[in-house]
Structure 1
Amino acid sequence: MIRVLIADDQALVRAGFRMILDGTDDMTVVGEAADGLQALTVADRARPDVVLMDVRMPGIDGIEATRRLRAARPLEQPPHVIILTTFDLDEYVYAGLHAGAAGFLLKDALDTELLQAVRAVAGGHNVAAPSVTRRLVQHFVATGARVADASSIDALTARELDVLRLIAEGLSNQEIAGRLVITEGTVKTHVSRILAKLGLRDRIHAVIYAYENGVPPGQ
């Protein structure tokens, strides 16, 4: 079972998320919090695998709570954090990324998108709403920020470049496997090698790298 903590200052929002999550066979809500400080306290007691973290909460906001959660137990696996917000704004995305968030979703995401995101980050993957990813890319390209040396792309094999193109298109490992007619395990291996060769932290940075360096989306 994936253990989930819901942190949001609106009781109705927490109730809605709880209903969705508890309605599955592989997830259980182990706690709720109405602000960032409470989220830290409950997380320390309940030890969730995933935290759904609102951005704007009284006292300690979701970004600072995420930073503290990710740094609290360096010798253990801290919970993965999905930041949920109604505000599709750059400042939250960048701050959350640097705080160690594993995913970003807008609160109006479909139930299926929420469940897929929880399962993905629980499995060690990063997720982001398409609109959030686009804003990330636009920001990095507009500011001239670089996530890796462009010359490192030469280290990729032809198949790894194919996988990078499909990552840039926003496809999941399962979708990439279907497109390239290979196993999902093989895709995971390619993704790990791509990140290692390019010196990238996660899939979001891989998308940024692809756009920065003119790698076209997969066909």
Structure 2
Amino acid sequence: MLPPGRPAPGVALIDPVPLYREGLWSLVRRTPGLRWLGSTGDLHSAVRMHARLRPDLLLVDSLLDPAGHLARLLVDRDPALMIIGLVRDAHAHGNYMTTAMDAGVRSVVSRSAQPGEILRVIAETCRSRGFVHPDLRAKERPTLTRREYEVLTLIAEGLENQRVADELVVSVETVRTHVKGILRKLSARDRTHAVSLAYRSGLLLGGPSALE
């Protein structure tokens, strides 16, 4: 419940799909305790929209802001702004989540979530000022050590254990230990499966900054 006299949180949306904007408009408009302020479909007008509407909550399609540049700009201008990332499947991994949160995104939810789930994330964000939907938390990529990442990168280049050992100047047994750790953390059947999973999750694209 909102304190007496306090206006309901204002909600705005940045999403390129008119049907999605229409759907969220309808959802928010019929939800007590929320105010719909407006939407836009492109980044060029996003900053102007924010300045004009000053929403409490701003939902942003991850496709439009995958690196968090817009989120960082808006939060720098308006620290009270609560941004919710609408995460597409291609971004449903830990690298995007870390980048988004570092940029000031407060919460994330799958863009294809059911209407009730999106409303729940909005409510949780208002209450706790931060929320990661469990479905996305489950998809966060595992964290490899720096050495495991180096081994995985060399495996992805087609090197066998002996060549990996030569490149890293370690023993073959040490490489085997790292490979076992990689397979366990990625829940992979074998080396080929591990590489496939790493590319699909974005792990090999994340770079050393994502490592322990």
* TM-score when normalising by structure 2: 0.59
**Aligned to 2:68, what secondary structure does the other structure show?**
helix
Task: Confirm or deny: 8 A CA contact 2:82 2:125 kept in the other structure.
Answer: yes
Q: Shift in Å at residue 67 of structure 1?
A: 1.0
String of CA shifts for 1:105-128, please: whole Å, max 9, x gaps. Answer: 001212111111112212343111
Assess, with a 3 A threshold, how the Cα gap between structure 1 residues 45 and 143 changes in structure 2: closer, same or farther.
Answer: farther
Structure 2: stretches of 5+ with no match in the other structure: 1-7, 147-212
String of CA shifts for 1:141-197, please: whole Å, max 9, x gaps. Answer: x348xxxxxxxxxxxxxxxxxxxxxxxxxxxxxxxxxxxxxxxxxxxxxxxxxxxxx
Corresponding letter in the other structure for 1:81: I
Name 1:45's counterpart in structure 2.
52
Name 2:36's counterpart in structure 1.
29
Task: Confirm or deny: 8 A CA contact 1:37 1:65 kept in the other structure.
Answer: no
Assess, with a 3 A threshold, how the Cα gap between structure 1 residues 15 and 122 changes in structure 2: closer, same or farther.
Answer: same
- 1:63 corresponds, among 65, 68, 82, to 68
Corresponding letter in the other structure for 2:142: H
**Aligned to 2:80, what secondary structure does the other structure show?**
coil
- 1:81 corresponds, among 80, 83, 96, to 83
Task: Confirm or deny: 8 A CA contact 1:64 1:99 kept in the other structure.
Answer: yes
Q: Shift in Å at residue 38 of structure 1?
A: 1.7
Corresponding letter in the other structure for 2:88: T
List structure 1 runs of 4+ shifted beyond 3 angstroms.
none
Name 2:135's counterpart in structure 1.
131
String of CA shifts for 1:13-72, please: whole Å, max 9, x gaps. Answer: 111111111111111211111122322211111010000111112xx6672111111111
Q: Shift in Å at residue 5 of structure 1?
A: 0.7
Equivalence map 1:1-219=2 (5 Å): 1-57=8-64, 63-73=68-78, 77-87=79-89, 88-136=92-140, 138-140=141-143, 142-143=144-145
Mapped to 2, the partners of 1:143 and 1:71 lie a distance apart of 33
Mapped to 2, the partners of 1:50 and 1:122 lie a distance apart of 8
Task: Confirm or deny: 8 A CA contact 1:20 1:111 kept in the other structure.
Answer: yes
Name 1:178's counterpart in structure 2.
none
* TM-score when normalising by structure 1: 0.57
Corresponding letter in the other structure for 1:7: I
Corresponding letter in the other structure for 1:104: V
Corresponding letter in the other structure for 1:66: A
Mapped to 1, the partners of 2:17 and 2:56 lie a distance apart of 22
Task: Confirm or deny: 8 A CA contact 2:85 2:107 kept in the other structure.
Answer: yes
Task: Confirm or deny: 8 A CA contact 2:84 2:105 kept in the other structure.
Answer: yes
> Which structure is larger by alpha-carbon Rg, 1 or 2?
2
Structure 1: stretches of 5+ with no match in the other structure: 145-219
